[in-house]
Amino acid sequence: MLSLGIPKELKPGERRVSLTPQGTKFLHDRGVTIFVEENAGLLSGFSNQDYESSGAVLISNSRDLWDKACLIKKVKEPISPEFSYFTDQHIIFAYLHLASPSARPLIQALQKAKATAIAYETIEKDNDTPLLKPMSEVAGILAAYYGVIFQKHIKIEKSQIKGIPEAKAAMAEAASHYPKVPHFKYRGRVLILGGGHVGKNAAEMVYQMGGEVWISEISEMKRNQLANNFKSRNLKINMINPANLTNYQECLMLSDVIISAVHSAGKRAPIVIDEELLKLISLRKKKIILDVAIDQGGNVAESKPSNYENILDLDSYGNLRFSVTNIPAFCGRGSSIALEEASLEYTHLLTQGVERAIQICPELSSGINLLKGEIVHLAVSEAHHL
């Protein structure tokens, strides 16, 4: 049985942990040796003592943990300080988003070390992504709140963004109470691009706050499913087909907030607002654009990955842009628990080895992006022309 390592997350603003003390006890009781880096769970509300009491062995630094463990479970992808820890004995299980243009250095480090990488977001079962779903729901809810918060607190004066400290305080307050986030009053117009888990949850939150909300979804089947779902619950959420360019562009121009969440499992996110369209829709009204698909490269021209330390910037046309790559990170405890509920059984199986895990749960094969340093996921190789 493979030993399991739980490192402290290093990505700026990240508050989640990939295994809670409850999950630690579950695996320990089944014979798994678990190494947890000291303070890995503090920002999620879990103490070192909580982990020790659940059967984990505390490790004082990241390098020692990577040296001792074979299966490394993380929340977000490893960042450059961790690349030197990789070996051919490692199986890395995390949100990896390797099709994103910014992931090339990580891919090269994994290849050089001949490591195996299994991505939460590319595991597909019954035409769904079960490990992406819980974080997508969190991201959708928070994106709706953040859009309202930015409209309330942020002002643009001579190309300078004012009110960021106040906005950050309001964001932290909302996230700290997740899933019981406060309901603000809102009367603006929000257009959501993509009717997946992010889009659906964002739309419902905007509606509950009193906003006018539209969802743009290319799939007729999904539009009908969403329309029927909303109608059955008396939610007045409008659907639009982006193939109808006149209506689509009109909605884009009239919107105050745009939340983009068009996702294709494992692939680079499609650009749905290119430079020309971005310029056009900015002429009538400046927007607040939250590109939730930024983990996979983003849906909107000029989107650049950012973090919770640098939350906002302006694009070439004066629109306020939010492109944080780990949106659910602010909800440390709630997000960690939700992720564990979706991933714990897979983690247990992977401690028995990749081949054995796939025999029991074949869908895990779709999660393998690299196997012993070789890219085996088609979407990743296509995205980087490898």
The pLDDT tens digits for 228-274 are 999 999 999 999 999 999 999 999 999 999 999 998 877 899 999 99
In terms of domains, do 99 and 213 share one?
no
In terms of domains, do 32 and 66 share one?
yes
In terms of domains, do 180 and 301 share one?
yes
**Hey, what long-range contacts does 230-238 have (CB within 8 A, 24 or more apart)?**
230/203, 235/204, 235/207, 236/207, 237/203, 237/204, 237/207, 237/213, 238/212, 238/213, 238/214
The runs of H, that is alpha helices, within the chain are 21-28, 48-53, 62-68, 104-113, 133-153, 164-176, 197-209, 220-232, 245-254, 275-284, 332-350, 354-360, 378-383
pLDDT of residue 272: 96
Cα distances from 302 to residues 128, 177, 256, 323, in angstroms, run 29, 32, 18, 10
Q: Who's near 297: CB < 8 A, 6+ residues apart?
A: 99, 100, 101, 102, 268, 269, 303, 383
Structure tokens at 182: 């406060």
In terms of domains, do 117 and 26 share one?
yes
In terms of domains, do 125 and 269 share one?
no
Closest by Cα among 151, 134, 294, 140 to 202? 140
In terms of domains, do 321 and 363 share one?
no
Residues of the chain with pLDDT under 70: 181-183
Q: Note if 295 is an active site residue.
A: yes
CA–centroid distance for 340 within its chain: 15
In terms of domains, do 144 and 256 share one?
yes
In terms of domains, do 104 and 149 share one?
no
In terms of domains, do 344 and 323 share one?
no
**Exposed (0-12), middle (13-18) or buried (19+): which is 284, by Cβ within 10 Å?**
exposed
Among left, alpha and beta (phi > 0; psi -120 to 50; other), residue 267 is beta
pTM above 0.85, yes or no: yes
Per DSSP, 183 falls in state -
pLDDT of residue 109: 98
pLDDT of residue 182: 66
CA–centroid distance for 176 within its chain: 18
For the domain that residue 66 is a member of, what is the CATH number?
3.40.50.720
Closest by Cα among 84, 86, 83 to 103? 83
Q: What share of the chain is helix, strand, coil (3-state, %, to 5)?
A: 45, 20, 35
Cα distances from 216 to residues 22, 57, 258, 359, in angstroms, run 40, 48, 11, 39
Range of the domain at 51: 4-129+331-383
Closest by Cα among 197, 143, 190, 186 to 311? 143
Quote the number of domains for the chain. 2
Residue 214 — φ and ψ, nearest 5°? -125, 145
In terms of domains, do 295 and 173 share one?
yes
In terms of domains, do 236 and 285 share one?
yes
Q: Note if 183 is an active site residue.
A: no
The runs of H, that is alpha helices, within 54-163 are 62-68, 104-113, 133-153
In terms of domains, do 52 and 165 share one?
no
Please tell me which residue in 90, 97, 197, 348 is annotated as part of the active site: 97
Please tell me which residue in 50, 291, 295, 315 is annotated as part of the active site: 295
Name the domain boundary from 293, 315, 330.
Answer: 330
pLDDT of residue 190: 97
